Amino acid sequence: MAENSLNAVDPEIAELIRAEERRQADTVKLIASENYVSKAVLEATGTVLTNKYSEGYPGKRYYEGQQVIDQIETIAIERAKAVFGVNHANVQPYSGSPANLAIYMAFLKPGDTVLGMGLPFGGHLTHGWSVSATGKWFNPVRYGVRKDTGRIDMDEVRALALEHRPKLIFCGGTAIPRTIDFPAFAEIAREVDAVLAADIAHIAGLIAGGAHPSPVGYADVISTTTHKTLRGPRGAMLMATSDEHATALNKAVFPGLQGGPHNHTTAAIAVALREASQPEFKAYAAQVVKNAKALAEELASRGFDLVSGGTDNHLILMDLTPKGVGGKPAAQALDRAGLETNYNAVPFDTRKPFDPSGIRIGTPSVTSRGMGEAEMRQIGAWMDEVVTAVAKGDAEDVIARVHNEVSELTAKFPAPGLS
Ligand SMILES: Cc1ncc(COP(=O)(O)O)c(C=O)c1O
């Protein structure tokens, strides 16, 4: 063991990292916003690039010694432009929330109106929800979904836009199981002269792989995290077609909101984008959607109440009320059985956000492990067994048995990046 290795310097943290690696390997990860990055992305993340300060942009920095970093950031930008078909990309936002805040900084003044999807309907905190800075410092107006269809009501979006004349409209979100209608949002934004921001954090990998329509040509600006379906490191990007929007975004990111970019993350984003441009990634994105549909069908056939009745993408949102159990106790029992999910509010939820009626699941991670539709049907059956047992108040034996069966499955499908 090298004297200065992590094991030698901090055995406590080293062991916890190994424990997390074992946990990730042994769990069927159904969290819709997570994934397993490749060994190559992991390697780029843990490099000496973390030592370097690079305030500014390639060719225009405030620190010397950027001979290498400028090349890395330029490669990341060029790959983002190629993968998404945009004219401009900024790869510096620290994560999705700061990226979205940069959009406000670029186009709004405090107090200006933003129209975004309400959090309980599937929008993100940063789309103007009350507890977020975006809801406190701006004037948020919120759209939702129709009660009868569980889908975004574009008539409501248009009516709200005409009434409130927002300067910014967000589309996209964090718990939306259906395709986003970018052309319809663009038409409404044009009608009221608002900037249209497409937040594709969840579906970026599907868009890159051709499994979801692209907002390019419709949205003025696009924000995305890089660590969900796109399968990169924790980070974010902002993209635009026009020079004017791109200049405003660049100024908002630096010096508006951030200092030095995280260069190790930038390198890992470049690697992930290279992976996303390969033919295998197209197949991956298509399989993510096929798997989600197979899992949704299995769950629906077992009496689960799926918001909107199913899914078009990687994500399923379920109301567990008909199963007689809340989202939180269900998610906790599933986790003990080796099936990792998150509890989630559902549209028109009558329960509290920390103890909501639903759970949200997704297929990006299981698909990265090489699982297919047959495994999705098995996972749906296990979820049903565990949730039904929890509702009956007698789940211990079922949890123990399912956990054993889950371990047998995960052993057959090694996760990328884990040793
Ligand atoms: C749609 C959407 N936008 C933005 C974010 C924020 O990303 P981060 O958690 O990296 O700040 C998320 C995260 O879940 C998201 O789902």
Q: Is 340 a catalytic residue?
A: no
Rounded Cα distance between 62 and 258, Å, is 13
Q: Are strands 195-199 and 221-225 parallel, antiparallel or unpaired?
A: parallel
pLDDT mean for each 10 residues of the chain (419 residues) = 86 97 97 98 98 98 97 98 98 98 98 97 97 98 97 97 98 98 98 98 98 98 98 98 97 98 98 98 98 98 98 98 97 98 96 94 98 98 98 96 98 94
Q: Is 225 a catalytic residue?
A: yes
173 lines ligand 1 (CB under 6 A): yes
Rounded Cα distance between 170 and 216, Å, is 14
Kindly list the strands in the beta sheet with 139-143, ordered across the sheet, starting from the edge strand earlier in the chain.
Answer: 88-90, 236-240, 221-225, 195-199, 168-171, 113-117, 139-143
Q: Which is catalytic among the residues 225, 226, 266, 311? A: 225
Do 87 and 78 form a contact (C-beta atoms < 8 A)? no
What local confidence, expressed as pLDDT, does residue 419 receive? 77
Our CA angle for 38, 42, 43, nearest 5°, is: 115
Residue with tokens 């620190």: 63
What local confidence, expressed as pLDDT, does residue 1 receive? 57
Q: Which is catalytic among the residues 55, 70, 187, 384? A: 55
Residue 119 marked ligand-binding? yes
Under DSSP, is residue 319 helix (H, G, I), strand (E, B) or coil? strand
Ligand 1 atom with the smallest distance to the CA of 33 is 14
Q: Is 53 a catalytic residue?
A: yes
Domain ranges of the chain: 44-276, 288-412
Rounded Cα distance between 182 and 163, Å, is 21
CATH number of the domain located at residue range(s) 44-276 in this protein = 3.40.640.10
- Mutate-to-test residue for ligand 1 from 225, 234, 238, 257, highest number of ligand atoms within 8 A of CB: 225
Residue 125 marked ligand-binding? yes
Cβ-count burial of 8 within 10 angstroms (0-12 exposed, 13-18 middle, 19+ buried)? exposed
Q: How many Å lie between the centroid of ligand 1 and the Cα of residue 201?
A: 6
Specify the CATH architecture of the domain 288-412: Alpha-Beta Complex (3.90)
